[in-house]
């Protein structure tokens, strides 16, 4: 092993060996051996003990200052800031004492202690230790330490400011977060206090960012240290779960929640989107109420106005923040109600009409509109109105005064519509049934051929919708009379004809075998009713009764005939006045204009 490797160890062991115990008097030259080899930890207790009894050794004070300055390098500038400053203050104190004691005489007397200051004199070229060299170095050290104290204070100040501002930013965020179940509620329920908190959060986080930038700058100005933090900004995507974890500002990678982006985006949505939409909801309701007043005052339909107004309904824009906005459901009820009332106004003429079909269609339209209101009212009632009232406080206050009135409105609409539907449904059943009958004085003539009750004297055999019906009316079980009625819109016939039939072959007990055919001329002025039995008579023929009817004069004639075939079709020849009777096989018979069967 080289001899140079043994020298420091030799000096150490030999020095320790010659230094007496702390309780004994210590000689400075013994301590200097440790100080000169920078073994400050071992030398410090001996040096402190020495200075208690020797307050005139400038070199001892110099090294005491050096020891404290050296300690600063081991201090954590963020965690042990006060201790580092204390060490620097102590170093300055001891350097200052050194300056006060240091003289030319001291340097000459103890020049071996100041060998580190041995320099060549540029004017003489000789090496030596000069007082001004040492003084300049000490003053420089003191100045540097004072500057370092200022720098570490700035580092600590901006670090603490950054940490505190971030904590205060997080506290503000948590205040907003705990106030609302989610983004939707925050946007919709935002009030002045919410806007104030979000604005403060944005500014506070801005200040936090600036403080961190100042911290990084001051840290760089301070010089060599173990810290070099970097922010890792995380966005707040999940309103209820994100933003809660605290940040460790002592780590190299600091996970930071981006409260600035969150608050700015929220403010932008609330102030530029939601707030104007909330106001537009109130304005839209005002426009609906204007149309309601117009309908009630002028008794006019507002359907076209409603259609135009519906194009401006703000519900669609609101769905960006609330997929199912309550005001949209309120508007749906109000609009459907006005549409129903408009339909009622439009149907006044229809209900005054004698045309049963027109009245029936009008009623169906009204019921359809009632179903629309009913569906809208059910949807509104199915909502959590307590939550909606909180979310849309401005809308509720301006349109219903308070939430209880909104609830009452929803229930009253539903109850009213249910009552209206019940009435209209009963009326619809009545009017639908009315379409199955003709009314002639006290008689009701069925317009259906199936399931005619046995006690009904009218037995329809043929019904041509909206034109005419023909059949047999039995006043008793033996005698029957053929009838022919026109079917008018009012279901009160303007053509009412009865005619004799073949009483032998067309009795009530043979009704299942009796059928009818009926036809009108193209102008609807001449009608024929042909009744026939599909059972042969005693002569092997098929009994037939033919009646000719004029719209203007009623019954022209009625003839009982017999045919060799079962009639399946009749045709009228206007030029000759003949009636052509055909069978499925193509066999024909001709009846002249007077009701006589013509020879083929």
The answer to whether residue 440 scores a pLDDT higher than 50 is: yes
Torsion over CA: 191, 193, 199, 201 (sign): negative
Rounded mean pLDDT, 373-396: 96
Rounded mean pLDDT, 184-207: 95
- Do 455 and 470 meet the contact criterion of CB atoms below 8 Å apart? no
Residues 515 and 472 placed together within one structural domain of the fold: yes
Alpha-helix runs per DSSP H in 299-402: 303-310, 315-318, 326-346, 348-352, 356-381, 385-391, 393-400
Rounded mean pLDDT, 106-124: 86
User: How far does Cα 147 stand from its chain's mean position?
Assistant: 58
Confirm whether 335 is domain-assigned: yes
- Structure confidence at residue 479 (pLDDT): 81
Picking from 376, 404, 434, the residue at the C-terminal end of a domain is 434
- Structure confidence at residue 462 (pLDDT): 97
Confirm whether 144 is domain-assigned: no
Residues 416 and 518 placed together within one structural domain of the fold: no
Confirm whether 87 is domain-assigned: no
Confirm whether 467 is domain-assigned: yes
The answer to whether residue 344 scores a pLDDT higher than 70 is: yes
Residues 372 and 454 placed together within one structural domain of the fold: no
Residues 441-450: pLDDT tens digits?
A: 999 999 998 8
What is the distance between the alpha carbons of residues 275 and 265, in angstroms, rounded to a whole number? 14
pTM exceeds 0.85, yes or no: no
Residues 519 and 536 placed together within one structural domain of the fold: yes
What is the distance between the alpha carbons of residues 332 and 595, in angstroms, rounded to a whole number? 66
Domain with 331, as residue range(s), is: 277-434
Residues 398 and 286 placed together within one structural domain of the fold: yes
User: In terms of Cα–Cα distance, which of 200, 180, 199 is closest to 189?
Assistant: 180
Rounded mean pLDDT, 56-65: 96
What is the residue whose two structure tokens read 């229809």?
A: 350
Q: 3-class secondary structure for 455-471?
A: CCCEEEEEEECCCEEEE
In which band, very low, low, confident or very high, does the pLDDT at 476 lie, cut at 50, 70 and 90? Answer: confident
Confirm whether 294 is domain-assigned: yes
Of the given ranges (130-134, 164-168, 365-369, 454-458), which has the lowest mean pLDDT?
454-458
Residues 384 and 518 placed together within one structural domain of the fold: no
Residues 530 and 565 placed together within one structural domain of the fold: yes
Residues 311 and 412 placed together within one structural domain of the fold: yes
In which band, very low, low, confident or very high, does the pLDDT at 455 lie, cut at 50, 70 and 90? Answer: confident
- Structure confidence at residue 23 (pLDDT): 53
The answer to whether residue 7 scores a pLDDT higher than 80 is: no
The answer to whether residue 41 scores a pLDDT higher than 90 is: yes
Rounded mean pLDDT, 514-527: 97
Confirm whether 139 is domain-assigned: no
Torsion over CA: 113, 116, 118, 122 (sign): negative
Residues 447 and 405 placed together within one structural domain of the fold: no
Secondary structure class of 541 (helix, strand, coil):
coil
- Structure confidence at residue 359 (pLDDT): 95
- Structure confidence at residue 296 (pLDDT): 95
Residues 332 and 423 placed together within one structural domain of the fold: yes
- Structure confidence at residue 19 (pLDDT): 52
Picking from 401, 419, 434, the residue at the C-terminal end of a domain is 434
Number of domains within the chain: 2
Confirm whether 92 is domain-assigned: no
Residue 143, burial from CB neighbour count under 10 angstroms (0-12, 13-18, 19+): exposed
- Do 201 and 173 meet the contact criterion of CB atoms below 8 Å apart? yes
- Structure confidence at residue 316 (pLDDT): 78
Residues 302 and 376 placed together within one structural domain of the fold: yes
Residues 593 and 450 placed together within one structural domain of the fold: yes
User: In terms of Cα–Cα distance, which of 566, 589, 587 is closest to 579?
Assistant: 589
Picking from 434, 459, 493, the residue at the C-terminal end of a domain is 434
- Do 266 and 311 meet the contact criterion of CB atoms below 8 Å apart? no
Residues 390-411: pLDDT tens digits?
A: 999 999 999 999 999 999 999 9
Q: 90-99, 442-451, 472-481, 504-513 — which one is most confidently predicted on average?
A: 90-99
How does strand 480-486 pair with strand 468-474? Answer: antiparallel
Confirm whether 163 is domain-assigned: no
The answer to whether residue 357 scores a pLDDT higher than 70 is: yes
In which band, very low, low, confident or very high, does the pLDDT at 595 lie, cut at 50, 70 and 90? Answer: very high
């Amino acid at each position: 092993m080289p001899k140079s490797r043994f020298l420091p160890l030799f000096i150490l062991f030999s020095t320790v060996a010659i230094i007496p115990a702390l309780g004994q008097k210590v000689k400075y030259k013994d301590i200097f051996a440790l100080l000169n080899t920078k073994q400050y930890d071992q030398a410090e207790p001996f040096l402190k003990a020495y200075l208690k009894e020797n307050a005139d050794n400038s070199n001892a004070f110099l090294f005491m200052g050096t020891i404290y300055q050296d300690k600063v390098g081991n201090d954590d500038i963020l965690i042990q800031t006060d201790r580092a400053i204390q060490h620097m203050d102590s170093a300055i104190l001891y350097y200052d004492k050194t300056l006060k004691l240091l003289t030319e005489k001291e340097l000459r007397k103890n020049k071996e202690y100041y060998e580190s200051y041995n320099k060549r004199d540029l004017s003489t070229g000789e090496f030596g230790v000069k007082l001004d060299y040492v003084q300049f170095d000490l003053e420089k050290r003191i100045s540097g330490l004072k500057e370092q104290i200022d720098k570490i204070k700035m580092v600590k100040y901006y670090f603490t400011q950054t940490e505190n501002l971030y904590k205060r930013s997080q506290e503000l965020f948590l205040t907003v977060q705990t106030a609302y179940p989610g983004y939707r509620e925050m946007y919709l329920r935002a009030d002045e206090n919410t806007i104030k908190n979000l604005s403060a959060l944005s500014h506070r986080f801005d200040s936090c960012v600036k403080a961190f930038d100042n911290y990084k700058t001051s840290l760089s100005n301070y010089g060599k240290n173990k810290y070099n933090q970097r922010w890792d900004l995380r966005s707040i995507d999940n309103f209820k779960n994100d933003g809660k974890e605290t940040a460790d500002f002592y780590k190299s990678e600091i996970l930071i929640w981006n409260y600035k982006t969150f608050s700015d985006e929220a403010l932008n949505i609330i102030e530029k989107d939601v707030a104007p939409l909330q106001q537009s909801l109130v304005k839209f309701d005002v426009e609906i109420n204007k149309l309601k007043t117009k309908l009630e005052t002028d008794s006019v339909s507002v359907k076209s106005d409603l259609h135009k107004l519906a194009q401006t309904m703000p519900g669609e824009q609101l769905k960006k923040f609330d997929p199912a906005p309550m005001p949209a459901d309120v508007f749906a009820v109000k609009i459907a109600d006005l549409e129903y009332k408009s339909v009622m106004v439009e149907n006044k003429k229809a209900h005054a009409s004698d045309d049963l079909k027109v009245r029936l269609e009008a009623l169906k339209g009204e019921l359809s509109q009632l179903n629309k209101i009913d569906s809208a009212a059910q949807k509104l009632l199915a909502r959590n109105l307590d939550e909606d009232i909180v979310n849309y406080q401005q809308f509720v206050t301006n349109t219903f005064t308070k939430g209880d009135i909104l609830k009452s409105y929803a229930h009253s609409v539903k109850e009213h519509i249910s009552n209206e539907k019940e009435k209209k449904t009963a009326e619809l059943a009545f009017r639908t049934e009315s379409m199955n009958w003709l009314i002639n004085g006290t008689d009701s003539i069925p317009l259906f051929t199936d399931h005619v009750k046995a006690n009904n004297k009218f037995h329809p055999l043929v019904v041509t919708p909206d034109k005419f019906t023909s059949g047999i009316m039995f006043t008793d079980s033996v005698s029957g009379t053929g009838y022919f009625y026109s079917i008018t819109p009012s279901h009160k016939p303007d053509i009412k004809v009865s005619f004799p039939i073949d009483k032998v072959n067309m009795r009530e007990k043979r009704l299942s075998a009796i059928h009818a055919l009926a036809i009108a001329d193209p102008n609807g002025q001449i009608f024929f009713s042909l009744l026939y039995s599909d059972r042969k008579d005693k002569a092997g023929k098929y009994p037939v009764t033919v009646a000719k009817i004029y719209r203007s004069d009623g019954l022209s004639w009625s003839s009982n005939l017999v045919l060799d075939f079962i009639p399946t079709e009749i045709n009228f020849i206007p030029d000759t006045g003949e009636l052509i009777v055909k069978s499925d096989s193509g066999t024909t018979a001709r009846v002249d204009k007077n009701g006589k069967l013509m020879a083929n």
